[in-house]
């Protein structure tokens, strides 16, 4: 039993045409012919037609057919149906969009040499930016210290998100990129890696402390004007270190930053600054210095 005829509503650049009593299995070739007669575009032979239904090509002229759309070739010896089995056509009719392009324009575009600096979606060759994103961070500590412990480590790094850092004309404050490189240097520091490994520590995020954070001002007020250099949130969920100087013109000395980081790591166990805290902090400082002393001896320093 043949399927009931369907209605097709063609649209092209704001114009529309309705085709009624169309066979359900009309071929792509016949539907293209009907579209041409419904929308005479002058130089018919020089215009390539393409029909789309629900975002998919259901018919198109030979010159526009590619190997991936071979099944939609309208002039094939075995014409393909415009609406194959399994495609649902609404009761109100199939809304088909007509696209028309000059064959000369298509030939011109096809003849243009592709830009070698552009990469196709299927091209597996990584671009420079992709390769840079997958490269390991810059190593400050030599070829033997290029990664953290796979388990006991800082999971992510977060430089200060304020976009104005280092981006204004004449600005002298280091860019956020430099802050990230400094954080990378800190997490790959052999002394810090040794502390996290021996004490089985895991910190979710090591971040740059926002210089205008409300917590900084609050701590300064309650601390009698003392400068807050870092803080530990939820005992290792996140540690923030104040990387920049007070005038934002540069970074604090590296030794000071490491001292602050070890201080905040000690808060993973003890919240208050009591004897237990300072004992633990002192042990971690000794472990850090011992590790660097061993490295210096190995290198003949």
Q: What is the pLDDT of residue 77?
A: 53
Residue 246 near residue 209, CB atoms below 8 Å: no
C-alpha distances out from residue 206 to 109, 150, 154, 238, 240, Å: 51, 16, 6, 6, 6
* Overall pTM surpassing 0.75 (yes/no): no
Q: How far is CA 105 from CA 60, 66, 100, 228, in A?
A: 16, 16, 11, 66
Specify the pLDDT at position 134: 43
Closest by Cα among 251, 234, 263 to 242:
251
Helix (H, G, I), strand (E, B) or coil at 62: helix
The confidence score (pLDDT) of residue 100 equals 80
The answer to whether 222 touches 254, Cβ cutoff 8 Å, is no
What's the pLDDT score for residue 45?
56
What pLDDT, on a 0 to 100 scale, did the predictor assign at position 49? 84
Contacts with 131 (C-beta within 8 Å, 6 or more apart), sequence order: none
Which regions of the chain are under pLDDT 50?
64-76, 125-136
């Amino acid at each position: 039993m043949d399927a009931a005829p369907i209605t097709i509503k063609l649209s092209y650049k704001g114009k529309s045409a309705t085709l009624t009593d169309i066979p359900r299995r009309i071929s792509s070739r016949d539907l293209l012919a009907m579209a041409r007669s419904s929308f005479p575009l002058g130089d018919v032979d020089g215009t390539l037609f393409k029909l789309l239904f629900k975002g998919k090509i259901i018919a198109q002229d030979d010159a526009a057919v590619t190997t991936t759309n071979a099944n939609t070739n309208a002039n094939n010896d075995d014409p393909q149906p415009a609406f194959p089995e399994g495609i649902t056509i609404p009761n109100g009719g199939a809304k088909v969009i007509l696209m028309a392009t000059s064959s000369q324009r298509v030939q011109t575009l096809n003849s243009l040499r592709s830009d070698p600096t552009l990469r196709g979606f299927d091209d597996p060759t990584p671009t420079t930016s992709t390769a840079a994103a997958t490269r390991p961070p810059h190593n400050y500590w030599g070829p033997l210290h290029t990664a953290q412990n796979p388990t006991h480590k800082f999971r992510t790094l977060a430089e200060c998100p304020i976009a104005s850092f280092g981006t204004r004309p004449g600005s002298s404050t280091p860019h956020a990129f430099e802050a990230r490189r400094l954080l990378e240097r800190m997490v790959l520091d052999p002394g810090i890696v040794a502390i996290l490994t021996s004490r089985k520590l895991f910190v979710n995020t090591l971040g740059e402390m926002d210089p205008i954070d409300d917590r900084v001002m609050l701590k300064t007020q309650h601390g009698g004007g003392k400068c807050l250099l870092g803080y530990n949130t939820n005992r290792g969920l996140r540690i923030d270190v104040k990387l920049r100087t007070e005038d934002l013109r540069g970074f604090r000395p590296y030794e000071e930053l490491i001292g602050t980081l070890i201080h905040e790591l000690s808060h993973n166990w003890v919240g208050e600054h009591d004897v237990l805290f300072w004992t633990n902090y002192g042990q971690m400082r000794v472990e850090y210095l011992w590790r660097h002393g061993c490295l210096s001896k190995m290198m003949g320093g």
